[in-house]
Amino acid sequence: MRRSQESRIIAAVLRCYPARWRSRHGDEATVLASALLEDGTPWWSIARSFLGGAAKERASRKPSLRIGSVLAAITLGIAAVPLVLFASLTPASASGTHVTIVISKPGDAARQLESAFATHHFRIAVVEMPASTNLVGSILSISTVGASSDNGGTIREVRGQCNGGGSDCVVGLVIPLHYSGSARVMVGVPTTLEHVQHSYIAKKLRLP
């Protein structure tokens, strides 16, 4: 197929987009399509991508679909209210006293957590894991065993400032005072050359 024919087909596909989209992106989309054709991207691949995009764009703006979504959301919301009320009254969700443990020294996070867990007789193991600078001193993951109803409640994360300056790291835990389950917490520590060497050797020897 000649290039002019390919361009005409793509131009026709772009007309499937709503007028508002075309006035904003249409010009650039035409330039982009030409550049992709020059690069060797198949015309049908470009056309298919634009067709899919046009369908999603129209579906996201169709008033009847929006109203339908709003009505569905309201119906679900109304139906959920009695469920929420019921859940708040069940014994399983009744709140008791909790222990809040927050890491105050990222460089000594593992020791802080171990000490706090031991003080409250929690059966929670702490594992150190090499991590990027931003995650050093934060909790990377927590694995619990058993259902929260059997363990005396659910452990919640406390989020705060990351070591490297980001604002969304797990820096502590809120644990039910009578938490009886087992868990393992992974804490980020600086990656050292030793870690890299050990990992490299382990991979080569296929060690666990």
Partner 1 sequence: MTSRELGDSPDVLRRAGDASVLILTSLADGPKHGYALIQDIKGFSGVQLGPGTLYGALDRLERLGLIAELPSEDRRHPYRVTGAGVTALRSHLDALERVSMTGRLRLGLGTV
Nearer to partner 1, 104 or 115 (CB): 104
Nearer to partner 1, 11 or 158 (CB): 158
CB of 31 to partner 1, least distance (A): 5
Nearer to partner 1, 78 or 187 (CB): 187
CB of 125 to partner 1, least distance (A): 14
- Using only C-alpha atoms, what is the Rg of the chain? 28
CB of 141 to partner 1, least distance (A): 5
Nearer to partner 1, 41 or 115 (CB): 41
CB of 56 to partner 1, least distance (A): 6
Nearer to partner 1, 36 or 78 (CB): 36
Which residues contribute to the site for partner 1 (CB under 8 A)? Answer: 21, 25, 27-29, 31-33, 35-36, 41, 45-46, 48-54, 56-57, 100, 102, 129-132, 134-135, 140-142, 144, 154-160, 162, 166-169, 171-172, 174, 186, 191, 195-196, 198-200, 202-203, 207-208
